Amino acid sequence: MAKVELKNLTIKFGAFTAVKDVNLTINDGEFVVYLGPSGCGKTTTLRAVAGLQGTTTGDILFDGQRVNDLTASERNIAMVFQFVSLYPHLSIAENIVFPLKARGLKRAEIARKLEWVTEIFKLGDELKRYPGALAPGTTQKVALARAVVREPAVLLLDEPLSAIDEQFREEMRWELGHLQRELGVTTIYVTHDQREAMSLADRIVLMNDSRIVQVDKPHDLFFDPNSVFAGQFIGSPSMNFMDLNPVSGGYRLGNSDIILSDKAVPDVVRRSHNPVRMGLRPRDLQLVDEPPEVGIDVTVDDIFSVGRERYFSFRVGDDIAQGIDVRSDVAGQGHNIAIRPEGLVFFDGKSGDRIATLGAGA
């Protein structure tokens, strides 16, 4: 296993900067997920760690050793791509041990490693079959087994579950997380799917526009976003955002007639000379039975269910906000909207950077 360090990493393609001044330390045995929209630089960063992509400036280190000039085969990494490529004319067992044979390992050592990885991935019943007879989830497990059997220092996964049907993906997410913890291999995983990132990662590296936006544990990234982008990208439904416009005794939300009491806003926000945007998760905006201590007066447009949760929506000027309906009497006509002050976060309206919060939001 290895500790991976990226120091001032920049990658350019002509005039286009794909990765800009990235600094990150990934600890030995850690499961780190790169998350972000398409084109943000996450796959380019992964390819640079793998040795498949050259760097413009900066260093990549494995356990303190600079590996920029080492080829992919010299770095002791294994990589699994989005679309699995198994040899169709070879059995599953032959596919798994192929990289071991290519390295010239002795037959006894190959047999030992095959037995070890077969037990970990629970593939004993599949070894004599061929790739064309496997379900998509099992095919991906074979690809992972083939990568892991080499006992790499670093395991790199480029959207390995995105080509799998949803019915298999949930199970594979659980299995992948379990396997990584059992193996203890340093793992870097790239995805644009926040569900995968939130369920798998020890830490998430959120990227946008070629830069790292925030590096945090999933819980902290969800509840304490450091920017408007982080709040928008993480969560489904997304965080609600509303501009705060000071009026007598409180703040008008956007260009609406909705007034938020000033007691819900911290002093640091009141003292701001720049425009302020307020963010809060739908879970912190609740439709309740009784008038709340801290709330707003709105007209509810719609009430709808997503799984076990019942949501409501309302307009804030030209925008739509969403919250959770927690009323016991769902047939009631009352529209009491409670705000959990500890869930409020505030951002600079110009830079989009975090200003303050009243609590952890947990």
pLDDT digits (tens, 9 = 90+) for 249-301: 889 999 898 988 888 888 888 888 889 999 999 999 999 888 888 888 888 89
Query: Which pair of structure tokens corresponds to residue 15?
Result: 């005039």
What is the pTM assigned to this prediction?
0.90
Place of tokens 């996964």: 157
The CATH 3.40.50.300 domain(s) of the chain lie at 4-229
| Distance set, CA 252 to CA 52, 258, 314 (Å) | 52, 6, 15
Decide: helix, strand or coil at residue 150: coil
Q: Does domain 4-229 have CATH number 3.40.50.300?
A: yes
Give every residue of the chain whose pLDDT is below 50, as ranges: 359-362
Structure confidence at residue 267 (pLDDT): 85
Number of CB atoms found within 10 A of residue 15's CB? 5
Neighbouring-strand partners of residue 25: 5
Q: Residue 167, class by beta-carbon neighbours within 10 Å (0-12 exposed, 13-18 middle, 19+ buried)?
A: exposed
Measure the CA–CA gap between 21 and 10, rounded to whole angstroms: 5
Measure the CA–CA gap between 173 and 121, rounded to whole angstroms: 13
Distant-in-sequence, close-in-space partners of 265: CB < 8 Å, separation ≥ 6: 244, 251, 278, 344, 346
Q: What is the separation of C-alpha 40 from the centre of its chain, rounded to a whole number of angstroms? A: 13
Structure confidence at residue 225 (pLDDT): 95
Structure confidence at residue 356 (pLDDT): 64
Decide: helix, strand or coil at residue 264: helix
Distant-in-sequence, close-in-space partners of 274: CB < 8 Å, separation ≥ 6: 348, 349, 350, 351
Number of CB atoms found within 10 A of residue 304's CB? 11
